Amino acid sequence: ACVIINRLEGADKILNSVGVILHQLTDILEITEILFQEKLVSEDILEEIKKQVSQNHS
């Protein structure tokens, strides 16, 4: 399966469990980091997204 943006919510593990490999162009963390560097999102938003992704991978 191909996705443009992997939201890092666990779909890769679910797909992998049925033999499907997920290919991504980028992920939400990479996009958010770039937006933060360009001052398009605040550090609070960046940290909130990192926290959410971290919780999804626990």
Tokens matching residue 2 = 């191909």
- Residue 9 CA to residue 57 CA, distance in Å, equals 8
Contact, 43 vs 22, CB < 8 A?
no
pTM for this prediction: 0.84
Residue 32: CB atoms within 10 A of its CB come to 19
Residue 26, pLDDT > 90, answer: yes
State what percent of residues in the chain have pLDDT above 90: 93
- 22-26 mean pLDDT: 97
